[in-house]
Each structure stands twice: as C-alpha cells, then as structure tokens.
Structure 1
Amino acid sequence: MTKQSVVSPVELRDAALTIVKRYKQAPQRRLLVGIAGRPGSGKTTIAEVLADEVRTMLRTLSDDPRDHAEKAVVTMPMDGYHYYRKELRAMPNGPEAVERRGAEWTFDPRKLCKDLQAIRLPAATAETTGLPLYNEVRVPTFDHSVGDPKEEDICISGDTAIVIAEGNYLLYRGTPTWAEVNRCFDIGVFLDCPADQATWRICRRHMVSFKLNQESAMMRATGSDATNGDLVDTTKKNADIVLHSIECKL
C-alpha cells in the first residue's frame, strides 16, 4: 500500500472482499462504489488504500487476466463537480455561495449523475474475444492551484471494471437529484470519524495548505467544514458498509 490506512486491516479486508464478490456477480457492468464521510475523515486516503486492496484481492482470487490489469480498479473524487467560482458568484446569494463552497448546494449533482450513469452502462461484447468491453469515460478533478475543476482529468478506460468514488455527499438523498446520484452506486460506504478528530485533521491541512496559524486554521475548520460535516453524518444510515476511521497522519 502506498498510503497508511485510516481503518483497521480487518475492516479493510472485509470491505474489499464484499466489493470483489459483488463485482463477480455481474461482470457485464462496471461496479460503482461510493465512499462518503465528513470533511477530514480520510475519504481520499481510504479510497486509494481500498482500491489497492481490491486490486490485490482480484489478482489473488481471479484467473481472469483482465482482473489483473492495473486499471481494473480506479478511484474518482467528487471534488471535480464543484461549481466553478464564476458560477457561484453568479448565484443570487453569490457571496454566501463563495463563502460556503463545499456545501451540498455548491456542487453540480446533475453533472455528476450524468457521468456516473455513463460509467454504469452495460459492457459491449468484443467481436474477437466475446469478452465484456466497457466504454471509456473521462471525469473531472479539482485543481487546487486555480481553485476550480479540471475537466476530463481522469480516464476511466475500457479496462476498468470497478470504480471507487469518494466525496462528502455520495450517500446524501436530500434532493431528488442527489438521491439519483446515490442510486448510481452498487455499494455505499460510510467512513465514520469523530467530529473532533476530523476537525483537527482539517486544521492541520489548512495550516499547511494556506500557511495559516493554528488559530486561523481552526476557525476555518470549525466553520463551514463543520456545518457540512454535520449534514454528511446524517447520511451514515444510507450506507451498506460502515468503516471506522482511526487516528493517523494523513
């Protein structure tokens, strides 16, 4: 593993095994896994670590050479579906939208849903081999250097059979569009993390990323991030798997 896990080895292994078993039940369609959790819970880290664990398990348990490909499992962030800053400023509550960026209403769930549905399309059958052939989909990431999404930055290739997405609101069902996003996932995972632990992680992140002193960083971490996190915590009930975040340096 390239990163330290933020959950126990037992929980990680059990989650990976559930994913592999579910994928093998319906190989004609990509398996979508959605990981949600409050800001600072460790979603990005666990998505990458879980993807590594699933890759290892596929290579061990599967005789299908397609399952041994490095791109058989890919992660994608929800951050690429932030509204652009110019879109936020154009909203009737523009100043608040910019200030609250990261709240569920500052993302574009329709765009996210469209991409997830494209990823879920059933595989075609290759004429020469008769094997499933998935469609290629390109999805955005978030460019922190410019503060806006970077379009088509991740390629989900025809070799990719399992996509692990991570983001605050992937289990949120508070609006019809967000509920539709949630329905795109075959397996919903919630990364449970104590609020105070997540807040300290965000504080440390802000100190490094924005060169803030601890007091200023903590003010940011206990503001909009904490408000968003409290909403995210209410979506735990929608998860198929609950993982428990442990303290480590992210």
Structure 2
Amino acid sequence: MTARVDGTEGRRPSSRDPLQGYFDTDEGQALIRRIADLPGRRVLVAVAGAPGSGKSTLAEALVARLADAVLVPMDGFHLDDRVLAARGLLARKGAVETFDADGFAALAARLTQPGREVVFPLFDRLREIAIAGAGVVEPAHRIVVLEGNYLLLDAAPWNRVRYDLTIGLPVPEAELRRRLEARWQGLGKDAAAVQAHLANDLANARLVTKGSRPADLSGP
C-alpha cells in the first residue's frame, strides 16, 4: 500500500466499503461526468461530511478518475498542538475552533484564479502536525477537489467560500460511531483514548449535521 503525507494508507475494499463498485454504476459515472463538465478554467468541488463519513475516500477516488484534478484537504489548516494547548483546546482538536478558518477561506479564494500555482499545507496524521508548503495546485489543474468537515458550515468565514459544486455525505450516527471507533483502534489508541476521541468526533459530527448548508448532491 502507498503511504500518504497525512499518514493514511491506500484502502482496500471491504464488504462495508460504500465506494465498492460505485464508479461502475450509472450514478457513479454520472457524478464523474458532472464534475468533468463543470464550465470554467478553474473549478472548485467541495466534498463535505462529518468525521468518519468517508469524505476523504470519496475525494481521493474522484481525483484519481479526473485527469486534471487535484486534492486539497481542509486538515492542513489544523492549529498546532502548542497553540491548542495554550488555548485549552488540545482535547478538542478537530473541533471547528481548532482550525485556521480564515486561512482556509483565503486559500479557497486564491484557488479560484485559473492558471495559478497555489501552495498549501498538508496534515501529517502520524505526527499530528500540519506541514507548510507540502501540497501544490499546479496551473494545469482545472478541477480542485476540497474535502473537510466544515466546508458547508453556515457560519463565517466558511459560508463565504464559493464552490462550483458541493457534495455532502450524510451517514447515520451509529455508523459514524462504528467507523470512528475502528479508526482510533487502528491507530493504536488504548480504550480510554478511543472513547475520548470518539466523544470529540461525535460532538463535531453533530455540529456538521445540524449546522451545515444543504449540498448540491449527496454522495454514496
């Protein structure tokens, strides 16, 4: 498997993988065509959802199937642990207030300019830090797929960002709980740490569910 900058690895399909065979269906093919047919020399596609909804998996799969696309995850705008500790927010890492939202909005504005190279940060999940300048949107990239929890949040500055297409991933909380628990166990966390992360993630998921604007499309 191929390791990524954010510390995740290539995923193998499972019996519960919502994307297994999806792009062989009419719905999956229609989604690819809709994105490819978006007019403009630079278009922004948002893939948004709660923690554990599968937005990263879907965004990566879309980029892999679109020749002129690039992935820009929101997670590069995590505040550093030292900043969070000073603000008493370390235990809430991943909550909306633990991101540089204005920085993300500024990046999104730059991304709308066609033919421009834009450098952006990426999050290293193994080290739990954002790495400045680790990602590059090249001038030839026409389609920019952004993914993150809060892209559609109906609060400033998130709601000032304009996308050409938005995709939401509604997933029942029980399924989110199952996926998130497996994620943290897979990262080697003990039982207490898993429950702490789970409580934080589900609180963030409820904010995303209740506080986000409707998406143009619902993902698989």
TM-score (structure 2 length as normaliser)? 0.85
Pick the aligned partner of 2:215 from 231, 234, 239: 239
The alpha carbon displacement at 1:188 in A equals: 1.0
Residue of structure 1 in register with 2:50 after alignment: 38
1:15 lines up with 2:7 in the alignment:
no
CA contact (8 A) 1:199 1:221 kept: no
Rg larger for: 1
Residue of structure 2 in register with 1:88 after alignment: 84
SS in 2 for 1:44: helix
Residue of structure 1 in register with 2:108 after alignment: 116
The alpha carbon displacement at 1:235 in A equals: 4.9
CA contact (8 A) 1:38 1:228 kept: yes
Structure 1 residues 42-67: Cα deviation after superposition (integer angstroms, max 9, x where no partner): 11111011122333xxxxxxxxxxxx
Compare the two structures and name the one with the higher helix fraction: 1
Pick the aligned partner of 1:201 from 171, 179, 186: 179
What is the CA–CA distance in structure 2 between the aligned matches of 1:44 and 1:38, rounded to whole Å?
11
CA contact (8 A) 1:51 1:74 kept: yes
The alpha carbon displacement at 1:221 in A equals: 4.9
Residue type of the partner of 1:14?
A: A
Q: Map residues 8-157 of structure 1 onto 2, 5 A cutoff.
A: 8=22, 9-22=25-38, 25-27=39-41, 30-55=42-67, 72-91=68-87, 94=88, 97-121=89-113, 123=114, 134-157=115-138
Identity of aligned residues (%): 29
TM-score (structure 1 length as normaliser)? 0.75
Residue type of the partner of 2:32?
A: A
Residue of structure 1 in register with 2:201 after alignment: 225
Aligned length in residues: 203
Residue of structure 2 in register with 1:67 after alignment: none
SS in 1 for 2:151: coil
Residue type of the partner of 2:203?
A: T
Residues 79 and 203 (structure 1), Cα distance of their counterparts in 2 relative to 1, 3 Å cut? same
Residue of structure 1 in register with 2:152 after alignment: 171
SS in 2 for 1:238: coil
SS in 1 for 2:206: helix
